[in-house]
Amino acid sequence: MITREADYSIRAILYLSQPGRIGDVVPVKELAEATDIPYRFLRKIMLGLVNSGFAISIRGRSGGFRLARKAKGISLLDVLRATDPRGVTLNRCLREDETCSQVGHCPVHVQLGNLQEQLDACLGSITFAELHDSAAAPPTCCEPAAP
């Protein structure tokens, strides 16, 4: 499940990475209004994105935030893992910080592990630059399998 913090982080990076906005310093108030993120929560989100190296904070009257890296170098998985090191996990038995009493004799665990690897690969292959490219086709890893 994607947490609210991860959802808001994705929205913020998506806004900052718009092709016509790259390099622009965006005031927090504008970012909050444009992304429909509560102002106080956005400040916390942006601090996390700055600490993770995705955004740069500019102080002062003309301050705000801008991207620290190129949009083509930031994937959905990068942002998800920055907000929650576990990323998007299909089941708690797949988390490294959890123990599962069924590991070793649960056929579902193996299948979920395979699906988790595919999900991570797909999310890791989708960059914010691609999300803005309306002409781009979805990544092949995200296409449904043939029946």
Q: What is the mean pLDDT of residues 43-50?
A: 95
Query: What's the pTM?
Result: 0.81
C-alpha pair distances (Å), 51 with each of 33, 76, 89, 105: 23, 17, 23, 41
Inter-residue contact 117 to 2 (CB < 8 Å): no
> What is the tens place of the pLDDT at every residue in 18-40?
988 878 999 999 999 999 999 99
> What is the tens place of the pLDDT at every residue in 54-76?
999 999 888 999 999 999 999 99
**Does CATH number 1.25.10.10 belong to domain 4-142?**
no
Residue ranges of the domains in the chain? 4-142
pLDDT over threshold 80, residue 79 = yes
Half-sphere exposure of 62 (CA within 13 A, CB side): 2
Percentage of the chain lying above the pLDDT 70 cut: 80
